């Protein structure tokens, strides 16, 4: 059954999207995160992306693990079902949910502890299976919820708030995702809404594993002068590969670019992500080029952001498993139960 979303009565001046909904219709509960936490900005960007894309919130499911970041789904999209599962295991829950009904949009929200440590196995396998999910890591280089231990994405040269050295090198989740054949890989910064919102929109329209590593400073435990995941550090060291613009289906590209200055990548529903190139030697459809670029930026002490890799050709998990188009959770006895006659034939085979 399909429903028309009925807009609530809001202030008449509030901007409305194609569904007649305002941003307020996409809100969640009041956040209980620390004031200034990067995660709240990401929630706002997700809200904005859903609003601008005129998505029906009830056709979105929000899934997460455990952590401050994993709490965030409670703070946007109140009309979406949410599932705050167990630490590091969001990918498996998202896999099962997706197999049950491939027609919904799945937003997986995780943290760097949740994904790069306890959940790294599930992350890897969801990526290589090309699960159709928007997988967001709200990366603050620390375990926020358990009060500031180093996470596996914390850089070697970074120090803790209390002056301790980080002894181990960091895991670059974006580079890893590219190696795993994730078909959409981006990095962004919670403080850069202009870059983040179009990337999120494109990720939501992309079919397959859409991975976003979003640097999201933890003001309580990892925003000090010797941290490489602080607001100041990221603002200073951010190197963007391109300026993304999301172009909805049927809309024209309005900005004019000089020759060779932009690329347009068509997404699965016909919309486009248009990338104004800020770097000439970079081709986001080429794995090797992306990985080299990431490495080079790292050598220079820069954090490379933007759409790092995209492949619109790959099959998602549902296609690979050759699953029927009607969602599995809508199949009835008639579709699923072979019945007494077939059972009698099976009995025959067994005697």
Partner 1 sequence: MSNIKSTNEFVIKFANVNGSGSASANQMFAKGVFRSGVPVSPKNIFPSNIQGLPTWFEVRVSEKGYLGRREGADIVVAMNPQSYNQDLMELNSGGYLLYDSSWKRDFKRTDINVIEIPLTKLCVEEFSNSKQRLLFKNIVYVGALSYLLNMEKEIYEILIKEQFKGKEKLIDPNVKALNLGYDYARENLKEICEIKIETSDKTKGMILTSGNDASGLGCVYGGATVCAWYPITPSTSLAEAFTDFSEKLRVEEETNKNKYAIIQAEDELAAVGMAIGANWNGARGFTATSGPGISLMSEFIGLAYFAEVPLVLFDIQRGGPSTGMPTRTQQSDVLSCAYASHGDTKHVLLIPSDPKECFEFAAEAFDLADRIQTPVIVLSDLDLGMNDWTCPEFKWDDTKLFDKGKVLHGKDLEEIENFGRYLDVDGDGIPYRTYPGAHPEKGAYFTRGTSHDEYAKYTEDGVVNARNLSRLLKKYQTASELVPNPIFKQETNTSSIGVIYYGSTEASMQEALDLLHEEGVILDAMRLRAFPFNLEVWEFIEDHDLLFIVEQNRDGQMRTLIMAEGGIIPDKLVSVLCFDGQPITADFISNKISSHLTGSPSKTAVGGK
Contact residues: ligand TPP, CB under 6 A: 66-69, 87, 111-114, 138, 140, 142-146, 151
**Of residues 54, 101, 289, 312, which one binds partner 1 by CB under 8 A?**
101
Gap between the Cα atoms of 152 and 35, Å rounded: 25
Q: Which is nearer to partner 1, 171 or 291 (CB)?
A: 171
**Of residues 84, 92, 140, 238, which one binds ligand SF4 by CB under 6 A?**
140
Residue 265 engages ligand SF4 in binding (rule: CB under 6 A): no
Q: Say if CB 226 and CB 159 are below 8 A apart.
A: yes
Question: Least separation, in Å, of the C-beta of 301 and Mg ion?
Answer: 22
114 touches, from ligand TPP, Mg ion, partner 1, none (C-beta below 5 to 8 Å by class): ligand TPP
Q: Which span (33-41, 159-167, 294-302, 306-314) binds ligand SF4, by CB under 6 A? A: 33-41
Mark 128-167 with x for binding to partner 1 (rule: CB under 8 A) and - for no binding: -x--------------------------------------
Q: At what angle do helices 193-205 and 38-52 cross, to 10 degrees?
A: 50
220 touches, from Mg ion, partner 1, ligand SF4, none (C-beta below 5 to 8 Å by class): ligand SF4
101 touches, from partner 1, ligand SF4, ligand TPP, none (C-beta below 5 to 8 Å by class): partner 1
Residue 291 engages ligand SF4 in binding (rule: CB under 6 A): no
Gap between the Cα atoms of 156 and 189, Å rounded: 20
Q: Which is nearer to ligand TPP, 152 or 247 (CB)?
A: 152
146 touches, from partner 1, ligand SF4, ligand TPP, none (C-beta below 5 to 8 Å by class): ligand TPP
Instruction: Name the helix (H) or strand (E) containing 330.
Output: none
Gap between the Cα atoms of 107 and 119, Å rounded: 16
Total residues interacting with ligand SF4, rule: CB under 6 A: 12
17 touches, from Mg ion, partner 1, ligand TPP, none (C-beta below 5 to 8 Å by class): none
Query: How far, in Å, are 49, 226, 228, 241, 245 from residue 195 at the CA level?
Result: 11, 26, 20, 11, 8
- Within 212-231, which residues bind ligand SF4 (CB under 6 A)? 218-221
Gap between the Cα atoms of 290 and 285, Å rounded: 8
Q: Say if CB 245 and CB 235 are below 8 A apart.
A: no
CA dihedral (231, 108, 70, 239) in degrees, to 10, reads: -10
CA 51 from centroid of its chain's CA atoms = 16
Phi first, then psi, for residue 84 (nearest 5°) are -90, 100
Query: How far, in Å, are 14, 83, 227, 232, 286 from residue 235 at the CA level?
Result: 32, 33, 13, 5, 27
CA 253 from centroid of its chain's CA atoms = 25
Question: Least separation, in Å, of the C-beta of 167 and ligand TPP?
Answer: 18
Gap between the Cα atoms of 200 and 74, Å rounded: 18
Question: Least separation, in Å, of the C-beta of 319 and partner 1?
Answer: 10
Interface contacts to partner 1, rule CB under 8 A: 1, 3-6, 56-59, 61, 63, 73-74, 78-86, 89, 91-101, 103-104, 121-122, 124-125, 129, 318, 321-325, 327-329, 331-333, 335-340, 342-343, 346-347, 350-351
């Amino acid at each position: 059954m399909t429903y028309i979303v009925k807009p609530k009565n809001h202030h008449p001046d509030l901007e409305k999207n194609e569904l007649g909904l305002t941003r307020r219709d996409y809100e969640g509960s009041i956040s209980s995160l620390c004031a200034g936490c990067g995660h709240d900005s990401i929630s706002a960007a997700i809200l904005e992306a859903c609003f601008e894309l005129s998505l029906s919130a009830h056709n979105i499911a929000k899934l997460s693990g455990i952590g401050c970041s994993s709490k965030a789904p409670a703070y946007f999209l109140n009309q979406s079902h949410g599932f705050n599962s167990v630490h590091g295991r969001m990918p498996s829950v998202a896999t099962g949910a997706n197999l049950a009904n491939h027609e919904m949009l799945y937003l997986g929200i995780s943290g760097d502890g949740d994904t790069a440590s306890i959940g790294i196995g599930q992350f890897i396998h969801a990526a290589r299976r090309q699960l159709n999910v928007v997988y967001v890591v709200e990366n603050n280089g620390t375990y926020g919820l358990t009060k500031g231990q180093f996470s596996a994405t914390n850089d070697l040269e970074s120090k803790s708030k209390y002056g301790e050295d980080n002894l181990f090198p960091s895991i670059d989740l974006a580079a890893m995702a590219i190696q795993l054949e994730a078909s959409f890989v981006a990095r962004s910064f919670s403080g850069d809404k202009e870059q983040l919102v179009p990337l999120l929109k494109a990720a939501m329209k992309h079919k397959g594993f859409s991975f976003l590593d979003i640097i999201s400073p933890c003001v309580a435990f990892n925003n000090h002068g010797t941290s490489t995941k602080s607001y100041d550090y990221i603002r200073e060291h951010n190197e963007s590969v391109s300026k993304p613009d999301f172009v909805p289906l049927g809309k024209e590209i309005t900005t004019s670019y000089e020759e060779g200055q932009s690329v347009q990548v068509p997404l699965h529903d016909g919309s486009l992500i248009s990338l104004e190139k800020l770097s000439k030697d970079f081709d986001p459809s080429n794995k090797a080029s992306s990985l080299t670029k990431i490495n080079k930026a790292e050598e220079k002490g820069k954090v490379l952001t933007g759409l790092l890799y995209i492949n619109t050709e790959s099959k998602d998990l549902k296609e690979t498993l050759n699953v029927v188009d009607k969602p599995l959770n809508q199949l009835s006895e008639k579709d699923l139960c072979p019945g007494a006659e077939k059972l009698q034939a099976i009995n025959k085979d067994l005697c």
